[in-house]
Amino acid sequence: MNDFNEQERARLASLFRLNVVDQPPNALLNELAEVAALALDCPIAIISLVGKDQIWLKASPGITGIDRLARDEGLCGSAVMQDDPWVVENAAIDVRTLTNPLVAGDFGLRFYAGVPLKGSDGHNLGMLAAIDAAPRTVSERELLILTKLAEVVVQLIERRLEERLLAPITSDA
């Protein structure tokens, strides 16, 4: 249990070091999420960052009016702890998810295919996931596409931090 706590602390430190949680929406992240949705023929894709108690949706084409969830309400909260893709073909019958509010409630989530957003330091920051209200399968090719898109997402997030750190400090004096 102590190893889990240390790993989670290190993962959270990595996430917050990037200073991206409170950044405004980013059009490029939204475009990458749209590509993920198109590639898997899903109506929804999300780019999420997973904190201790919350999941921040940094891009979520197909979902309106939600920018964050409680960590225990979203599938990304569990998925982020895995290093491999996390696939749920039918959430209504999968023991990992059948009681989740997004599955059992009005949202009606049935399909989830997510890959971790693995930072350059090796810690998972969040997830890139394609979501559908219908059960379905996912191919290895589709998972590879998600994985490659997730790599681009992380590069974009980390590059934006570098740009902010290297930006010249301006003074009105």
Residue 32: left if φ>0, alpha if ψ -120 to 50, beta else—which one? alpha
Instruction: Give ∠ CA 114-119-121 in degrees, rounded to 5.
Output: 140
Domains contained in the chain, CATH given: 2-161 (3.30.450.40)
Q: Could you report the per-residue pLDDT of 78-128, keeping only the tens digit for each?
A: 899 999 999 999 999 999 998 888 898 888 899 999 999 999 999 999 999
Output DSSP code: residue 92. Answer: T
- The pLDDT of residue 126: 95
Considering only 7-16, 73-82, 133-142, which range has the smallest mean pLDDT?
73-82
Number of other CB atoms surrounding residue 136 within 10 Å? 14
- Collapsing DSSP to helix, strand or coil, 118 comes out as strand
Question: Rounded CA gap, 141 and 45, in Å?
Answer: 17
The pTM assigned to this predicted structure is: 0.89
- The pLDDT of residue 54: 94
Question: Rounded CA gap, 79 and 104, in Å?
Answer: 18
Sheet containing 111-118: order of strands: 68-70, 54-59, 44-50, 124-132, 111-118, 86-88
Q: Where are the beta strands (DSSP E) in 35-147?
A: 44-50, 54-59, 68-70, 86-88, 111-118, 124-132
Question: Rounded CA gap, 154 and 162, in Å?
Answer: 12
- The pLDDT of residue 74: 87
Q: Is 26 exposed, middle or buried (0-12, 13-18, 19+ CB in 10 A)?
A: middle
